[in-house]
Amino acid sequence: MNSPRYVRVAPELGLDKLFDYEIPESLAGRMELGQRLRVPWGKRDIMAYAVEFPGQPEVEKVREVGAIIGERPLIPPGLCKLARWMADYYACDLGAALRTILPGPVRSHEGGGKMAWWIEPVRERSVLAEKALKGAKSQKKAWDHLCLQGGGWLTRLVKETGLGTAVWRALVDRGLAERLQKRFVPAEEKAEEGWADASHRPALGEEQIQALAEWNEERKSDQGGRPILLEGVTGSGKTEVYLQALDAVLQEGRNAIVLVPEISLTPQTVARFRGRLAGRRVRLCVLHSGQTVAERRESWHEIREGRAKVVIGARSALFAPLENLGLLVVDEEHDGGYKQGEAPRYHARDLAVVRGRMEGASVILGSATPSLESGYNADRGRYRRVRLTRRVDGAKLPKVHVVDLRKEAKPKNGGPVLLSDPLKLALGSRLKKGEQSLVLLNRRGYAPSVQCPHCGKVEECERCAVPMTYHRGEGRLRCHFCDAEKVAPNRCSACGSPVLSFTGAGTERLEEAVVHCLPGVRWTRMDSDSMKARGAHGKALEDFREGRTDILLGTQMIAKGLHFPKVTCVGVVGIDSALNLPDFRSSERVFQLLVQVAGRAGRGEVPGEVFIQTYTPFHPAIQFARHHDVDGFREQELEYRRAHGYPPFRRVILISFSGGSDAQTRASIVHVANRLREIWKGKTEVPEPAPAPIARVEGKYRYHIFLLVEKVVPVMRDLKREILAPKWPGNMKVSIDVDAQDLL
């Protein structure tokens, strides 16, 4: 292959643009993607990263690269390859893919910062340490502290332990610890909740042993191993399996990435990894959205330099620049949070499988309710299914009651049935016995719409085609799409009638009902409105864990990955609207949510029970959830998907146009549909463009083409050319969403 003549670079200026340079003779053949370069910029030189080798530069006059900085690329080769894959599959250019991988703070880094000493234990020496430190009391104390922390700033270590610098120096002199100069990041060493030494490793149960054996067999097979789909009921010990797989990989000197749906909602999982690794003297890096720019930059370098062996984080942690990757874990693989909502619209679970294959790392996808896509892949043998069928402590899965709301008495005030009699009774009796309950209503606010009973007028958002939600606490109407708000009216804006009715219910209304029917109850409402304040979420969970509250009620926030042994009753209120969304996945989502939230009940000694209130008690999602029948649901749902050619049988590509003029937006997307029909004549069907289910958001009209294809990559070139390349009139936004999750 000829060595490239041009290179496209991302400057370290924080500009969201790429620039082309020529590669001079002297550097030919030495340039790699991901390298840091010095390039001329106006009258000075700046730093930049090589992100692409274009065949032709975008502009006529290009200047020459000055020099290559440092011996190795900032982006490891594996990630450069992954970026290529992303660009081909998710319809973006390579530059955009690389910009996603290389976080802004790293790209825009301008050097500088104070340097400080960083002390870190030398792991391989830990056996030696016990002997060597006999009799050296302070050094032993320092060593233990250091191992628990996994490393720390010298000044901080001194402060934490009261041991002087000489003690730490002695550890370094003995070869037990290393001393490094690093750019100082003050916030990094904040003590985090749950940093306990949980190095205790429980004896595995039979099924867990079997699961690990199968994982081992798979990863040692010739093809490098298929991804493992670890399908285990809630509380069956999946996390323990991840932890021990992680141990095995670390022992081999390889590194790992663990993805969780959302760091802030899975504090217990993160704490367990932290605790276990602290005991193992391995440095772990947690990536989360609350990090400052400096922290993110420092994390990236720490990982890139090989100091952190394990990275745990949400979706974007998949791009952690680890080399020598041995394991990728995706916990709760079915979670919608793994799909990025803006371009490049990647799916982290799918990319994890791709990255694992590219870098020879084994992949474990875990869930109690796997996505249809993953379940089907396991059915076909592309993934290996490993099951955990029993809860660790032998606890029984809870009994699930379906409450038929059609038979419940309507409240006298004309409002919705919030707590049915059976649920009310159960909550009351659990409260008396000092047990805890969860009540889920996946909708925030007081009432989803406000309607005039006389003329029928519904208060809608001016910019979006949706009703506004009434938030009683603040006395306002809010649009849940654009966040527009206004004071709640006290009379109809159309006919002036002074009576308005609040239709449906949100968490605020549920809260009112719970408090009303359970005098003396101690509760917390948990939704994104009530948990806005920093630390509110952690505090609510702690109060609940410590038994200071009896009931936790709220949106799906309460359904995620929590383990509370004292919860014996779970109520699910108002699930029907989610079943009726115009989305082929609505049934799957409801099933997953029901099983997940039901799994929060009865994780201790007292058996749990669950109440699902619905107007459609025979809906398959509800019936299969009632029997915890994941296989049954998958079979039935696959039949429906097959009949319509929906995923996983074909891939969905959602093409969206949105613009300020209805006619113009419509005309543009119709034009595209016609062009595609011409190009693909008879090969791939192109359905009629249609207004999006939410036809207007933020004043923009929205249209969709819902495309179903056998294979993505072959149609991508045509789609990019016909949709992304043209200049559309007005401020038209266009997008191509491959494997779209959000169809509204």
Residues that bind ligand ADP (CB under 6 A): 202-205, 208, 232, 234-240, 392, 563
Count other C-beta atoms under 10 Å from residue 693's C-beta. Answer: 13
Residue 260 lies near Zn ion (rule: CB under 5 A): no
User: Which residues make beta-bridge pairs with 38?
Assistant: 47, 67
Q: Is the peptide bond before 344 cis (omega within 30 degrees of 0)?
A: yes
Q: From residue 191, how far is each of 150, 311, 367, 404, 590 by CA, in Å?
A: 13, 18, 30, 49, 38
Closest contact distance (angstroms) between CB of 333 and ligand ADP is: 12
Residue 492 lies near Zn ion (rule: CB under 5 A): yes
Contact of residue 238 among Zn ion, ligand ADP, none (CB under 5-8 Å per partner type): ligand ADP
Q: How far is CA 180 from the centre of its chain?
A: 33
Contact of residue 457 among ligand ADP, Zn ion, none (CB under 5-8 Å per partner type): Zn ion
Residue 494 lies near Zn ion (rule: CB under 5 A): yes
Tokens of 265: 């909602």
Q: How far is CA 240 from the centre of its chain?
A: 20
Tokens of 158: 């001194």
Pick 203 or 409: Cβ nearer ligand ADP = 203
Among 209, 495, 499, 744, binds Zn ion (CB under 5 A): 495
β-strand pairing of 436-440 with 567-572: parallel
Among 138, 264, 324, 497, binds Zn ion (CB under 5 A): 497
Pick 239 or 665: Cβ nearer ligand ADP = 239
Contact of residue 463 among Zn ion, ligand ADP, none (CB under 5-8 Å per partner type): Zn ion
Closest contact distance (angstroms) between CB of 234 and ligand ADP is: 5
Stretch that binds Zn ion, among 290-298, 450-458, 470-478, 595-603 (CB under 5 A): 450-458
Residue 500 lies near Zn ion (rule: CB under 5 A): no
Closest contact distance (angstroms) between CB of 434 and ligand ADP is: 21
Residue 182, burial from CB neighbour count under 10 angstroms (0-12, 13-18, 19+):
buried
Instruction: List phi, psi (to 5°) of 310.
Output: -130, 135
Closest contact distance (angstroms) between CB of 87 and ligand ADP is: 35
Closest contact distance (angstroms) between CB of 549 and ligand ADP is: 21
Rounded Cα distance between 547 and 451, Å, is 40
Contact of residue 495 among Zn ion, ligand ADP, none (CB under 5-8 Å per partner type): Zn ion
Pick 11 or 237: Cβ nearer ligand ADP = 237
DSSP state, residue 687: P
Q: Are 611 and 670 in contact (CB under 8 A)?
A: no
Residue 199 lies near Zn ion (rule: CB under 5 A): no
Tokens of 411: 């409240």
Residue 479 lies near Zn ion (rule: CB under 5 A): yes
Contact of residue 725 among ligand ADP, Zn ion, none (CB under 5-8 Å per partner type): none
Rounded Cα distance between 346 and 316, Å, is 10
Tokens of 637: 């749902």
Sign of CA dihedral 544, 600, 336, 273: positive
Pick 179 or 563: Cβ nearer ligand ADP = 563
Closest contact distance (angstroms) between CB of 485 and ligand ADP is: 39
Contact of residue 13 among Zn ion, ligand ADP, none (CB under 5-8 Å per partner type): none
By residue count, the chain amounts to: 744
Pick 269 or 316: Cβ nearer ligand ADP = 269
Closest contact distance (angstroms) between CB of 507 and Zn ion is: 20
Rounded Cα distance between 281 and 279, Å, is 6
Contact of residue 208 among Zn ion, ligand ADP, none (CB under 5-8 Å per partner type): ligand ADP
Contact of residue 326 among ligand ADP, Zn ion, none (CB under 5-8 Å per partner type): none
Tokens of 117: 């000493």
Pick 366 or 647: Cβ nearer ligand ADP = 366
Contact of residue 234 among ligand ADP, Zn ion, none (CB under 5-8 Å per partner type): ligand ADP
For residue 415, the number of C-alpha atoms closer than 13 Å in the C-beta half-sphere is: 16
Among 83, 464, 573, 622, binds Zn ion (CB under 5 A): 464
DSSP state, residue 264: G
Contact of residue 291 among Zn ion, ligand ADP, none (CB under 5-8 Å per partner type): none
Question: Residue 690: helix, strand or coil by DSSP?
Answer: strand
Q: Are 181 and 120 in contact (CB under 8 A)?
A: no
Residue 482 lies near Zn ion (rule: CB under 5 A): yes
Pick 371 or 587: Cβ nearer ligand ADP = 371
User: Which residues make beta-bridge pairs with 177?
Assistant: 121
Closest contact distance (angstroms) between CB of 240 and ligand ADP is: 4
Q: From residue 13, how far is each of 109, 228, 304 by CA, in Å?
A: 7, 41, 21
The residue behind tokens 């969206």 is: 656
Contact of residue 204 among ligand ADP, Zn ion, none (CB under 5-8 Å per partner type): ligand ADP
Tokens of 491: 């009379």
Pick 219 or 600: Cβ nearer ligand ADP = 600
Of the candidates 624, 542, 568, 565, the one whose C-alpha atom is nearest the C-alpha of residue 438 is: 568
Residues that bind Zn ion (CB under 5 A): 452, 454-455, 457, 461, 463-464, 479, 481-482, 484, 492, 494-495, 497
